[in-house]
Structure 1
Amino acid sequence: MRPMGGEQVEEAVAGAVALLRTATDRDWDGVRAGRLEWSCRRTGEHVAGALLAYAGQLAGRAQRAYVPFEITLDEGTGPADVLDVIGTTGALLSATLRTTPRDVRAFHPFPFGSANREGFAAMGVAEVLLHTHDIAEGLRLAYEPPAELAEDVLTRIFPQVPPGPAPWPTLLWATGRGELPGRAPVTEWRWQNNLVIEAGRLTLQGVTPAAAEDLRLGGDGGFVWIDGGPCEGTREAAGMMLKAYEEGSHRPDWGVFVLVRREDGRAVGGMGFHSAPDAAGRVEVGYDLAEAARGNGYATEALRALSEWALARDEVRVVCANVAPDNAPSHGVVSRAGFARTGGNDEEITYELRR
């Protein structure tokens, strides 16, 4: 898995600016950008403003709202100058991404209130790719960015969108800009940053499809692990999540989480849901912990937080866990987290926590 950061922002901006510079002699004010209500010039201003806003959110570590500033272009700024501003704001976002620690999160409203540097990078690249498409459509230019950039965006902030025949047409379809065979047109859309749940000494950080694929293939998923991690159970869970994503049944808030220790930012284990809640409001959890992290109460702390989060949702009535009869440490984890034994057989014992 290649990291998502400043390099991708620079690549997207460079490609966009190079194409649009071929049409700076045209009327950007009097032409609408594709299907948007904005003119091509206004759309270019929006791209620059978005890139600057994302850099500001991360640099200022904003936690509650957008930092209250915006970009204003000088009167008489022409298309070539607008592209200069896009290049400048892209460079600012790129530099901010390169100097922001991995675990820093800043405010963004969709859908869980924050994003990390990968999320802001993906959003920045999405703004550039999609609105370059809009401007190019208005100016009658042919535009298709590198497929890898579109895939970077899809697998970070569109986890609810199953892969299509190719990344760029899929991203256009997912944002209401195109059609895909066998899929209904999209009229409303919103990208989705990963969910993070606070859990005392830990944070439970939602795994994106990009991270899940890397974990499945033997990588670190973009996390810094303690010795012995990630465990095989985490890799298997990532593989199950990736299969659901590819089949179109993945729901991002009912996926896999990596347990990250606050004190040093290191990942110590994995925890997550086997699938979304069923019709009866029942959802099953599973977890594992690197051997070097066991005996510290981390799994219990994480399970309490994840169960509390799940039971606060209207669609959940019961959180359950199935434990092998001879797995004494895991029996202790679920018991300390408040689960009660409700059944079992020679292969597994069932525990439940009810709303």
Structure 2
Amino acid sequence: MGDLVTARLVLHPMTVDEAGRLVAGESPGEDRWAPGYPTDGDVVAATRLLNTCADTGDPQPFGNYEIRRREDGLAIGGLGFHSPPDEHGSVTIGYGIVPSAQGQGYASEALRGLLLFARSHGAARVKGDADHDNIASQRVMMAAGMRAVGEDDRVRYFETDWTDTAATPDPRA
């Protein structure tokens, strides 16, 4: 499977070898990872990918993606699916950007690209959540076209589906 490309980013599908090196902290070179990458969340996601591959096989295209800037190729974060679509076509996503690259719209751009990809590969609904105090993540999901659909005492829940055309992300954004 090839890379997904947006205006400023490359969403690179993470291989088992890459996930293993990331979990082990083995950088592919100083010129490949932005300061702060990988975050704890990236390590958790790579570990989940390795466990999924060991248990049920490679989930691609519904796996993990490394977010790289097109201008310099630096890995600045990750995003991906927690698992392939369920029997209703629903998938859950997660994402993160290193602090040195936050506040520049990269997370929203990456998420819009992933939502379009999910839709084009048969997902009917994409879900995500963010802690109440994580306003930035909530804004990312809304900027990418997701809408708040509920909350509990800890998190707000977001989703987009393609029976509601207002929730479809705009690929030009």
1:322 equivalent among 125, 129, 141: 129
Answer yes or no: is 1:240 the counterpart of 2:48: yes
Give the structure with the larger strand fraction: 2
Answer yes or no: is 1:268 the counterpart of 2:82: no
Q: Which runs of 5+ in 2 are unaligned?
A: 163-173
Normalised by the length of structure 2, the TM-score is 0.89
- Please tell me the residue identity of whatever aligns with 2:139: G
Count how many residue pairs are aligned between Structure 1 and Structure 2.
161
Normalised by the length of structure 1, the TM-score is 0.44
Q: Structure 1 vs Structure 2: percent identity of aligned residues?
A: 34
- Please tell me the residue identity of whatever aligns with 2:152: N
Aligned equivalents of 1:339 and 1:220: distance in 2? 33
Answer yes or no: is 1:250 the counterpart of 2:58: yes
Q: Which runs of 5+ in 1 are unaligned?
A: 1-193
The DSSP-based 3-state class of the residue aligned with 1:253 is coil
Describe the superposition over 1:29-49 as per-residue Cα deviations: whole angstroms up to 9, x where unpaired. xxxxxxxxxxxxxxxxxxxxx
1:332 equivalent among 139, 147, 159: 139
In 2, are the aligned partners of 1:195 and 1:253 still within 8 Å (CA)?
no
Answer yes or no: is 1:342 the counterpart of 2:123: no
In 2, are the aligned partners of 1:213 and 1:242 still within 8 Å (CA)?
yes
Answer yes or no: is 1:354 the counterpart of 2:165: no
2:165 aligns with none
1:231 aligns with 39
Answer yes or no: is 1:206 the counterpart of 2:13: yes
Aligned equivalents of 2:155 and 2:23: distance in 1? 25
After TM superposition, give the deviation of residue 294 of structure 1 in Å: 0.2
- Please tell me the residue identity of whatever aligns with 1:197: L
- Please tell me the residue identity of whatever aligns with 1:253: P
In 2, are the aligned partners of 1:220 and 1:230 still within 8 Å (CA)?
no
Aligned equivalents of 1:220 and 1:312: distance in 2? 32
- Return the index of the structure with the highest Cα Rg: 1
Give the structure with the larger helix fraction: 1
After TM superposition, give the deviation of residue 199 of structure 1 in Å: 1.5
1:308 aligns with 116
After TM superposition, give the deviation of residue 250 of structure 1 in Å: 3.0
- Please tell me the residue identity of whatever aligns with 1:195: G
**More contact order relative to length (CA 8 Å, sep ≥ 6):** 2
In 2, are the aligned partners of 1:212 and 1:221 still within 8 Å (CA)?
no
